[in-house]
Structure 1
């Protein structure tokens, strides 16, 4: 596909992003919505296969249902000149494979954060009965804000029919292939769980568990060899975290997690000190699973040795009388009937007696045990898991489930609620709102945005959060509010003409403006504003300086007017970190980056005295200010600069030539 080609009259191709076993990927620009997108085009050699085309279209449309912050969005599916294409969200960043190479070793908590995002996305796909089938780090993208996004939903399904003939595709995926897929069996949701376990292994160790010269040799290891211990690679990894890898990558699907949600719940608490003494996970011991067994030659020979050859066949003489033959036939039929009746009776008497499993959901463990006992059933293992619907310490369900049949005295497994799944809140202050919100939403948390002006925090970054770092919440009941910087506040400047100096100072303090005063003889009342710059109605940012010209009153008779010299004095005001005037908050918020000093400047000259503040300003670093003076000839002026009630700079002998 050449650059500048417009696909579907809408998507202008910009450049190639890569080639895969199923499709080629291009960067394009959506001319209607004015945004960059990625376009996948079905490979040329697959465009004549009607079955593959149908699967590509159907799965592409199905993928459009998967709306989740950690799934690459599919915007459009179409065809042009025989070219099947899919338009998706463009993710600027790198895939997880490259991310591991660049950032390994990755902190355990960051590993869990990445996996929680991926698990949350896969849970949504499984809820729509979509199995990825090809989960691997190459299909997980990490954008520039650290948000993980899964791609290639649907295409992995379409690829399955061509996988055996596309060696490169198999070779790229076989490291994450479940044992049942390696045997040629059907992929299930638990196959995705196995692949997720391998991805977690790679995040913790920086490599895949099985290597080999060929794809076949690697596939064989998946169903024959045990997963190497991640704790042997890094003894600091908690046993509880290794157990998540071991359970997810169990050889038998029945030993794995029931769902990706269960895996996410287990992973979330894997670093908890309460699980420090957890034993190593061991799958249930293998039993006969019904697979075909192959006997060796010695066994076959042994069986053959007990078979006598038919070397003495004799032809029975015919009975002389027909009624004898009929009598023996009747006897034989009677014996057969008796034998069948005896076998049936034995089967009936020897059959295992079954009972119906009662519904014990919502009961306490003791109540459930009693109800099971009343039904001639025993209590088996008790497994605790979170539940948003069932209160803590009450039974959620049983295995076998209620109303199913079970043998008398069979052990029934109880699933007991630990209450709602609690989510640990991290520290998001200083992060971009987009990334913080994506992390929280991936955990099922409802996020509310609240904008607030700030001179120090960059626009779009989190300034405060309503829930403190480390606190655990029920995401179904608690909303997290993030206060986000909207940058400097802007306001429309009021009409200050005619206002007194004290009124203007009060207004500037209320609106966080800096005011600089000038003086001019005028017929207006002394110390009232006769001019302002910027003018009334102008839009200014918080902290801006407004120059106000005040009236000195009527100009006196010329021979009595003292000569006044106007000049400026530059003063450097030092910033003091940790000053008590620095901003603070009881909530989690940025600290050092938001500290400021509040400073008052007093001046004494022809128009001012030390009784009123000339200017108040806030500084976040050493700041130079220019102070205007109007001093009568032969006299001097002065200034005092105060912070926290203390004079930090002063000069009571300011003249035009002294500075």
Structure 2
């Protein structure tokens, strides 16, 4: 049976002689060498100098920094490299087991392979007399837990930075297929020598995501209940997203000053984690930054699939929140987040805990003053759960049963309900198999039956095919009645077959994919943007060398008429023609973003565009299709009269990105449907523009047909060219307007004249490194001739300069759950 070590109260526990020895060593008291030899030191070679406790291999052990259930952490000097290190040594009693030694070394080696600013560095992993040890980076500062217990405060920018740095460290670990499994404030170090930079500590629970199962059957520490994910609490299979749940618990505590899930003991905490929702953060902290509460509650989702997809996605979300915070003009929270002073706990550390950690070590921003004594303290749930065969919650319930906390005579009722005839028939044949916390099987039949109190999980392997059970796991208390609903699950439809998109079948493909996804072909979002579903498919992107040669000859004709041939480099960049696959459906704006839609964003965020903030301004049209720059030209006034239905222009790439970030949050909140808006990639834009065509324009090869589909310089006027309202001319086969002319449209790709030669065949995203030549713009504008408005024409724009010719339309990604 597993062992449980709990510290659920704030009452001090009596110190053993061994703990007193460790405490004296941690205090760094005089006469370190005179400390009595104890079992934690018995494996050391004799000391050779007065200031050391002993030797281990080529390390001079100077003092004990801390102890944990697995081993001891010393401050030591590497005599070969002459540097101070933290030396983590496995306890001899545990090191007797070869499997434990193997696990220690494997995990240390896996972490040593990660070189990252926010993960503690491991220098060396060795074994001395069958006792494994790891030499790691020695840090000065304190843990986040000690910071909070000391009554220190954190404002929201600091919380965002700490959360972002934890997520960055986790992203690096997850990229190496390593899960931490015990993210909590006492495992987050604030480095005093590096302005409080976060370092993730104690990967002692970490394991590779595909680790051999025999290495997890030792009764090792599996996590701290208050920060444990529901899947860990139930003893289920886990992946990297369990770390994201723990990060959500940390951020919740930093924002609210208390934990999201509490209880009188470890079992009640874990039951809360698996079955209860945390109090809404907005109700506790009304001044939270926009999006932060939504992010934290997303991290605390019960189902891993409902959490952010990765730690990298969390980093990106926090960066968006930071940008919004800065754009709002605020730098620190109006009310600091505090925790009550408490005595720092005895957690093992990897460096000197420094109570006098400089305030500048947390952030370069000014810190708030400590909270006054007597402020309410978050409940302590620093419990370590040791389980052998069935996960953390299983171990707790098993031990509690032995001590009478949960008696097997305590029973509840389970009511099994079939929601349809097919489900009833299958259940009558086989029943429903469930396993309790002791791994015992119970067969449930339709109707009500009594079961002992405990934690139950439906046996997936024995579940009849075609049945859907809700819930798949549940906690049954004394006298409770729990309903389980079972229904026959219809077979998941197959996606429509991928066929070559043509103008003739484009609409049918849109309808087929809309039906498969359970969505509409055309949808209107919360600010009135009409979005069109674009199905996945293959197409030929760019122009052939023969086509490029002909185009350059055509430009020469225009040049003789006095038109400057400024497009040669851009035409040559259309080659080579190459096959591209768009592998996922997406929504694309039916038109360019309008002045009215951009006004909604500006009003909601009190936003100033880059042209307005810098007072450089944008551009306006001049005589003879020229432009002129000045501060008078903005998105509100490009030099000619605008209506709310004109395309917005004189905005930069950063303005467009800010609009997309705002719309993503607004639409997701308003619709309760996760939505992400962004600029289209260059490949997505051309694929959507062509709509299955291979001609110069989606309407054909003859520019004389342009009047019905395109607004360019021959129609826009000579004395004072102007844009026109969106959607006034014809659409392509997908139902998209103004893909040619009016305003050219920003894409997310960086510009490169040679990218097509090395572009990947599936979902190309553009160059990964910035050549400094700008970003791609597509479709041509009202100041361009028809050849510069073709489906394949590529233009480069300075993303930091607003101009009257450039606007944008947006992509909305189809949520993964829809597929």
Interval containing the TM-score (normalised by the shorter chain)? 0.3 to 0.5
* Structure that is richer in strand per residue: 1
Structure with the greater relative contact order (CA < 8 A, sep ≥ 6): 1 or 2?
A: 2
Q: TM-score, normalised by structure 2?
A: 0.37
